[in-house]
Amino acid sequence: MKRTLSLLIVFFTTLTSCSQPLSQLEQIKQRGELIVLSRYSPTTYHTKGEHFSGLEYDLARQFAKRLGVKLKIVIPDNLREMIHLLELNRADLAAAGLTITPNREKHIRFGPVYQEVTQQLVYRQGNKRPKNLTALHNGLLEVVADSSHIEQLQQHRQEIPKLRWTTNKLLDSSHLLELLQLEMIDYTIADSNEVTALQNHLPELRVAFDISEPQSLAWAMPLSEDNSLYDEVTRFFEDITASGSLDRLIEKYYGHVRRFDYVDTRAIYRKLLTELPKYQSLFEQAADRYGHDWRLLAAIAYQESHWNPEAVSNTGVKGLMMITSATAKEMNIDDREDPEQSIEAGAAYLDMLRHRLPERIREPDKTWLALAAYNIGLGHLEDARILTENNGQNPDRWPDVKNHLPLLSKKKWYRQTRHGYARGREPVRYIENIRRYYDILLYDKQNNTVDPAPNQNELDSLQQNHPPAAL
């Protein structure tokens, strides 16, 4: 009797546990796939060369790895469809640079804030800069349909009844910025992070003024009484904030583009047409030999010489890659002004510097640290790495080391180092410039537009066959 009773208890306990529905988090793990809605734009998710890139993509990839599942990115046609898919529980979350607004909070649930932006009125260089929203009556203001920008404009309309705009249901804000560059519209509204990310590619854009206070970005999830996914997302952002991983990702995407140089940007776009074709095959050949991206080598050469093979500095370095006589001897070349020899020497030297750094250093930090050594020397770089470690930061991370390189010009600090004084700010600017040029070279040079979003079948294929961008 006792045994029968025990068996019945086990049976009913098992039956009860089987009948309980799985939580959102358990469903994702059982499915083995995290379904994430995003936007195809430079600030969220896009192809960079042959790889995927974007702040939202990197964050979503880290979160999927944390859960031990695959990542599936889905690109809805527009913002309204994105929110509707969340309402219908057709996706787990949206990682799309969504602004938290009171209206959206009625339909979806937001996770922790990870970035702040302001909404900005953008116009084109050469046109008169409007002083405020009341000065827009003579121009066409076009904004993304169902966006937070419209909610903000509706608030302004309470004070400016004559304020008018048109909405676009087909294009997102990055493509409206392109229309502005092409003079097809007069004004648009965009978030500050997107303007920053695109200004090097669309150099005629100008910010007139902010139309909002700083606003919060967050991931969005379906409204639910089930807190399992929400709690895990919260823990994820707490962990990457505490570890510095979030700051490093923001630095990766925005650290090199905050300082915009209009003249310099216009100049490189001209030379993309006139000078680069003369040397592109040489960059490609050297890149194949040493495992570099040819566009990175081209970006280094542009920073060094503006693709002038006869360039000579006041310190005696020469050629496309501005090779010193000592490096030329070490790399076994005899004519620094010969483009092929210069590119070969520069690629080989960068490869050698990378291999001299500790093997444990991961990309893209290893490349940026090697480029710092290319500029300032391996000894001074090692001094900066030691200072970084002594100050409790990571000597294998470029964002940490770049904060300590400028200390090499201060007596208090360089007296502590083996190699002494160095102009430590120079490699920081040097790498920021190279990263900007590299981004420009990755951009679509032929039509000067953001790559169109692939359809979902193409995205699924790309996600299976292409890794994330390293640089």
Q: Give per-residue burial for 353-368: e unless 16+ CB within 10 Å, then b.
A: bbeebeeebeeebbbb
Round to whole Å and give the CA distance between 450 and 171.
12
Confirm whether 21-116+217-253 and 262-442 share one CATH topology: no
Query: Do the Cβ atoms of 143 and 176 come closer than 8 Å?
Result: yes
CA distance 187 to 207: 10
Catalytic residue among 178, 304, 382, 432: 304
For domain 262-442, give the fold.
Answer: Lysozyme (1.10.530)
pLDDT digits (tens, 9 = 90+) for 19-47: 578 999 999 999 999 999 998 887 888 77
CATH of 119-212, one of 3.30.1360.20, 3.90.1150.10, 3.40.50.150, 3.40.190.10: 3.40.190.10
Delimit the domains of the chain by residue range. 21-116+217-253, 119-212, 262-442
Does the N-terminal peptide bond of residue 427 adopt cis geometry, omega within 30 degrees of 0? no
233/236 Cα distance (integer angstroms) = 5
| Cα 92 from chain centre | 23
Helix (H, G, I), strand (E, B) or coil at 235: helix
- Give yes or no for a contact between 220 and 111, defined as CB atoms under 8 angstroms apart: yes
* SS3 (DSSP) at 45: strand
Homologous superfamily, domain 21-116+217-253 = Periplasmic binding protein-like II (3.40.190.10)
d(C-alpha 11, C-alpha 17), whole Å: 10
Based on the residue annotation, tell me whether 304 is a catalytic residue of this protein.
yes
| Mean pLDDT of all residues in 271-282 | 91
Residue found by looking up tokens 């959102």 in the block: 24
Q: What is the pLDDT of residues 71-89, one digit of tens each?
A: 999 999 889 999 999 999 9
pLDDT > 70 fraction of the chain, expressed in percent and rounded: 87
Residue 175 pLDDT > 80: yes
Non-local CB neighbours of 197 within 8 Å, separated by 6+ positions? 42, 43, 253, 254, 257
